[in-house]
Homo-oligomer: A and B are copies of this chain.
Amino acid sequence: MSLLSMLFGEKKKSANVAKERLSLIIARERIDQDGPDFLPQMRDELMQVIAKYVKIDQEDIKFNLQKQGNMEMLEVNIVLPDQK
């Protein structure tokens, strides 16, 4: 299964109405866990960049933070409002 279909595949089935979607994933593999966790702050700044390119409704953004061993992954899913 490709990463692309993993990202968008499942949601597609449940969404009958075609919508544009944007997903941002930031994943970090750390060797030592003592360092600062900058992902949340970095996420906010990344969102500001994205908002320059696409119109985003705050309520259409879903965040998901996962940790697994020495890996952490922040997933941001945005349903873009209709442009037409």
User: What is the interface residue range for chain A against chain B?
Assistant: 35 or more
- In Å, the complex CA distance between A29 and B31 comes to 33
Cβ contacts A34-51/B at 8 Å (1 or 0 each): 010010011001100110
Question: Who on chain B is nearest to A1 by CB?
Answer: B1
Known: A20-B31, A29-B20. A4 touches B49 (CB 8 A): no
The residues of B that contact A7 with a CB separation of less than 8 Å are 3, 25, 27, 71, 73
- Tell me if A55 counts as interface (CB < 8 A to partner B): no
Known: A3-B6, A23-B27, A28-B21. A49 touches B42 (CB 8 A): yes
List the 5 shortest-distance A-B pairs measured between CB atoms, nearest first.
A25-B25, A23-B27, A21-B29, A45-B49, A38-B53
